[in-house]
Amino acid sequence: MANINDIEVVVFDILGTLLDQSSGLRAGIREALPGCDAATVEELLFLWQRHVELEQQRIARGQRAYVNTDFIDAEAARRVAEHAGLTDPGAINRLATAGQRLPPWDDSVAGLDRLTQRFLVIGLSNASRTALLRLNARAGLRWHQALSAETVLAYKPAPEVYQLAVDTAGCRAENMLMVAAHAWDLRGAQEAGMRTAYVQRPGGDPPAGSDTFDWRFNGLDELVNTLFAGQPVSAARHGGRRP
């Protein structure tokens, strides 16, 4: 297992790990279709999420040219609208940006605030640059830098996305810790040579029995406490500055 004292940079997945993506999309669907019952909302949410997943997979396989998440979310919103019989253009356009209005998990803001005082902290997301800017501002997330996979015209778990974080940090991959609630994301980071930490979140992708991630945590507070326990104040890096 990796030594926690070797970690210099903490890299976070954002959608689902720091932000409650499903709740935010549900809220957008309810706003667009206020008469929907809970079962219908879940059906439409599945339709949205499945479309996004399939289209990103098609791009990864070279079956579709790269388009960013703004474009794919707009497609998903139109599919939901067609399925639900929603025809109001304004409501459909508003629904298309639901993925830019996601609430943070209860421990996300405080956990990031603590970590940025002692580590370099980077966000690494499949969200477009525009979406990432709006998500960070709305949720109050603090970073030293937030990176969009749009920069390399790919989606995680493509290796070039993780390499983007490594190149930006300017350190060895083995001194970087990728944190995510999705085992598929951590497998990609592991292939890139990064250390890995799974954080349990509702609706996440839990590790399989064959996964060998370096650490597993029940929440962000547990991760932060573990990192701080391995990093005494005398070893604090970067002067404890905020991003």
Give strand ranges (E) for the chain.
Answer: 9-12, 120-125, 145-148, 176-180, 195-199, 215-217
Assigned architecture for domain 21-100 = Orthogonal Bundle (1.10)
**Four-way CATH pick for 4-20+103-240: 3.40.1380.10, 3.40.50.920, 2.60.120.10, 3.40.50.1000:** 3.40.50.1000
Question: Are 54 and 138 within 8 A, CB to CB?
Answer: no
3-47 per-position pLDDT tens digit = 888 899 999 999 999 999 999 999 999 999 999 999 999 999 999
140-177 per-position pLDDT tens digit = 998 999 999 999 999 999 999 999 999 999 999 999 99
Question: Are 59 and 65 within 8 A, CB to CB?
Answer: yes
Q: What confidence score (pLDDT) does residue 1 get?
A: 54
Range list for CATH 1.10.150 in the chain: 21-100
Q: What confidence score (pLDDT) does residue 3 get?
A: 80
pLDDT band of residue 238 (cuts 50, 70, 90) is very low
pTM of full prediction above 0.75: yes
Residue 17 CB contacts under 8 Å (≥ 6 apart), including other chains? 179, 180, 181, 182, 199, 201, 204
